[in-house]
Structure formats: C-alpha cells, structure tokens
C-alpha cells in the first residue's frame, strides 16, 4: 500500500485560537486511514497570499476559508482552485459572492419559511453623474417612506440588503426614526424588515457540514456574553425544527460553514438572518461552545479530504422548489423532505460512519487538549489582541474557565473522570 498525504489549507484572517486548536488536535490524532489501496495521512498548512499563474495547480485537497468575504485576492484564488483544480472549499466562494442576505430571504420565503415581512428600498443617495443618474431620473419612482413603514409595521429594522456583521443595522420605532435612519443610509440599497415583536428566544444555529449546534443568543449583551451557556431552552420539537432550518439553508446555498439566526414567538421559530457564511469562530465569543466548533471543522474537513468530496460549484434548487410547490404537504412535511435533500447533499450517513470508524478517539483527545497550557496560551494570545492590557488576565481566565466548564460537562457525557486543566 502507498502512503499518501491529503493536505488541508487554512485560509485565515485575524483568526488565532481556532487554527491553533485545529492544528494541535490534527497532530494528536496522527491518522493513518486505509482507503482503497492507500494509507491516507493528513497535513494542514496556513495559506499564504502571493502572486500566482492562473495555470498553476495547488497541492491542497481541501481549504477551510475564513477571508473570502472581505479579501478579494483570496476570494478570486478560491474561485480559481475550485473551478480549475477540483479543490474542495469550506465555503463555496461562488455562492458567498452571489447569494447575499436579500437572496437568502427570497429563497427561504420561496420554501415557505416564516421569514418576517421584508421590503427592499432604493438607496437614499445616487451617483449624480453618468448613466446611473439618467436611469434614476427617468425610472425611479418617488415613494412615501412612511407608508412603507406602515405596511411593514413597527418596530422594524433598516439594514443594508447584503448585510455583514451587524453593519448599518438600525432599529426604528416609528416613521420619524425611519426617515432619520434612511437619510443616513447613503448609497446602500436597504431592507426594511419587520421586527418579531415580543419574541422570547433568540437562537443561533451554527452548521458545519451536516453538524448543527444550537446556542441561545443575547444580542444585547457585550460580545463576550452573547453566546449563552444554556441547555434546555427549547422543546424537542423546536430543537429538531431549528436543526433542520439550519441544515436546509446551508445545503440550499452549498454552504459548509454558516450560522442561522432564529427568533421564537408564540412557539413559532422565525428565521431572520441566515447568510452568515463566516460565523463567529473565536474563543472570545464562543467560549464554552468553542470546542464543538473546532472538533466539527476538523471532522468535516478530514471527511472531505479523505473521501475526495467533489466540489459542487452551483446549487441545485429545483428539488427544493418541487417540494415547496406541492400543496398537499404541510410546512412541517415539506421541511422533513427538504432535510432529506440536505442530509443527502452533506452525505450525512457516510460522514457519521467515517467519524465512528476513524475518529472515535477525537472526543477524548479534545477533552485533554482543551485543558492544556498550550490551549491556555492560545486563549491569552487572542485576548491580548482584543482587550486592553489591564483586562488580559481577567478575560484569559474567564474564557479559559468557561472552556473548563465545557470539559466538565464533556467528561460527564463521555463517562470518564474529570481532571482540571493546566
């Protein structure tokens, strides 16, 4: 048998802690997996940006990409290697560029999901010169912004149609608020979306391949406290529905790594924001939930590399639409059928078998690693990049301590003794 190495590239921006944990766990796993006539090993490498010929062939099998959203050089490199060279990418750079918040709202409305009422508004200001100015003068109709607000209802949220890290989001309570916010919005095309008034739960579903983690979220808290540590905040039926929402949305857009926001009101989950194909990934935001993310990224990228998962460059929407158009089905029946397509898209059963066969020791390795001084040092490095010097010790202990709480609950789940970290 030949020994072959599958290479995983980590395309990073300001990321510090999760790639350090990913690399450490991959090293500790020391995998040698028999596949066909080969013994497959794995190696990761941080991707560096440099000039390249469009005809060069990269030696990566998989790339985990975290910068395509905002760094165009990497985005175009990702598009080249997925189209020309068959590299599998987390996430799909074509889909990220093409399907922004507006498209995601339209698509999920098409599937029947209870998305709040949403209107698109033209930009407040336009280029006063050239063809755009002539088009606006001839064809842009004057409209009554206050009447639009009445039709959407208050409170509502005015926000850029393409979203991005809460950029430009303004809560408006009346027509006066709406006029002031719109006047300040500049040249950005806007959405006005009805608020889910009186909601009692905000949930974020983080999806990595077929894996979904549901976390209670508090958008009013400081960044380090928004992802809440809670365990029983939904019923079993609600939990299953939120998982399906997340997995279906991600499969629909060919996103391997995305988070979906949902608000619960009167027992109904309303998806409100789900084009977040670069979700929070740092220990300084996820803390307790951070080990799940690292393990999930590791498992999914290893599976994709080991099985030479083919890159799907374009979504296949018609099977979803065929279900959506079947008036004999209730929405829950449609959602179940959507999820069958989503699980097939992510090869969920084969992925589960792969993890059971080749990664049964990952949980114990992660339990040990996240208690080490090496991980604590990674936490401190990330904290030092974000917090003033007088808060570094405090928040290093805070985040490391929450991960130790995860280790205690994980030890209980695995039925093994808990040993305190460092």
Rounded to whole angstroms, how far apart are CA atoms 238 and 128? Answer: 50
List pLDDT tens digits, range 79-95.
999 999 999 999 888 88
Q: Sorting pLDDT into bands at 50, 70 and 90, what band is 392?
A: very high
pLDDT exceeds cutoff 80 at 235: yes
pLDDT recorded at residue 165: 59
pTM to 2 decimal places:
0.93
Percent of the chain with pLDDT over 70: 95
Q: Could you tell me how far CA 139 lies from the centroid of its own chain?
A: 38
* 234 neighbors 203 (Cβ within 8 angstroms): yes
Tell me: pLDDT of 180 over 90. no
Least confident of 35-39, 199-203, 286-290, 390-394: 35-39
> Start-end ranges of CATH 3.40.50 in the chain?
2-98
What is the rounded CA–CA span in Å between residue 242 and residue 239? 5
- Between helix 362-369 and helix 392-414 the angle, nearest 10°, is 150
DSSP-derived letter for residue 389 is G
273-317 pLDDT, tens digit per residue, is: 877 877 889 999 999 999 999 999 999 999 999 999 999 888 899
Dihedrals φ, ψ of 200, to 5°?
-115, 5
Give CA–CA dist 162/141, Å, rounded: 23
Which residues in the chain are classed under CATH 3.30.470? Answer: 201-346
| Average pLDDT value for the chain | 91
Q: How far apart are the first and last CA of the chain?
A: 41
Considering the four listed CATH numbers 3.30.460, 3.40.50, 3.30.470, 3.40.630, the one that applies to the domain covering 201-346 is 3.30.470
What CATH fold (topology level) applies to the domain 117-194?
Answer: Dna Ligase; domain 1 (3.30.1490)
Provide the pLDDT for residue 323: 97
| Topology adopted by domain 2-98 | Rossmann fold (3.40.50)
Confidence at residue 136, expressed as pLDDT on a 0 to 100 scale:
58
Tokens 């808060």: give the residue.
391
pLDDT in tens, 128-154: 666 666 665 655 667 788 888 999 999
Name the residue among 9, 181, 154, 177 with its Cα closest to residue 78: 9
- pLDDT at position 94 is 83
């Amino acid at each position: 048998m030949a020994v072959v190495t599958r290479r995983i590239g980590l395309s990073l921006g300001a990321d510090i802690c999760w790639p350090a944990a990913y690399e450490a766990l991959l090293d500790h796993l020391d995998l040698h997996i028999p596949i066909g006539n080969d013994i497959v090993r794995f190696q990761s490498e941080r991707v560096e940006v440099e000039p390249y010929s469009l005809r060069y062939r990269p030696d990566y099998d998989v790339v985990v990409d975290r910068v395509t959203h905002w760094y165009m050089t990497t985005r175009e490199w990702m598009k080249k290697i997925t189209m020309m060279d068959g590299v599998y990418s987390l996430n799909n750079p074509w889909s990220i560029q093409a399907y922004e918040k507006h498209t995601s709202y339209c698509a999920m409305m098409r599937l029947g999901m209870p998305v709040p009422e949403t209107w698109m508004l033209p930009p407040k200001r336009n280029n006063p010169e050239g063809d755009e100015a002539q088009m606006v003068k001839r064809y842009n109709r004057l409209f009554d912004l206050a009447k639009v607000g009445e039709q959407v209802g208050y409170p509502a949220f005015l926000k850029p149609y393409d979203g991005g890290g809460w950029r430009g989001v303004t809560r408006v309570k009346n027509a006066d608020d709406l006029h002031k916010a719109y006047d300040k919005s500049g040249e950005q095309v806007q959405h006005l979306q009805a608020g889910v008034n009186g909601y009692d739960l905000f949930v974020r579903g983080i999806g990595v391949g077929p894996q979904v983690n549901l976390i209670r979220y508090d958008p009013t808290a400081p960044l380090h406290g928004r992802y809440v540590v809670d365990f029983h905040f939904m019923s079993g039926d609600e939990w299953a529905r939120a998982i399906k929402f997340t997995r279906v949305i991600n499969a629909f857009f060919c996103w391997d790594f995305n988070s979906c926001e949902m608000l619960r009101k009167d027992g109904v989950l309303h998806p409100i924001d789900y084009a977040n194909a670069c979700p929070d990934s740092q220990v300084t935001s996820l803390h307790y939930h951070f080990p799940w993310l690292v393990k999930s990224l590791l498992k999914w990228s290893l599976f994709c590399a080991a099985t030479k998962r083919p890159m799907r460059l374009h979504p296949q929407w018609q099977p979803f639409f065929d279900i959506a158009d079947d008036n004999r089905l209730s929405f829950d029946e449609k959602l179940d059928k959507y999820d069958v397509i989503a699980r097939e898209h992510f090869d969920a059963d084969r992925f589960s078998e792969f993890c059971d066969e080749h990664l049964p020791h990952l949980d114990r390795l992660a339990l040990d690693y996240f208690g080490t001084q090496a991980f604590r040092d990674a936490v401190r490095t990330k904290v030092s990049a974000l917090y003033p010097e007088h808060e570094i010790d405090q928040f290093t202990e805070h985040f490391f301590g929450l991960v130790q709480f995860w280790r205690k609950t994980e030890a209980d789940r695995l039925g093994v003794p808990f040993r305190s970290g460092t």
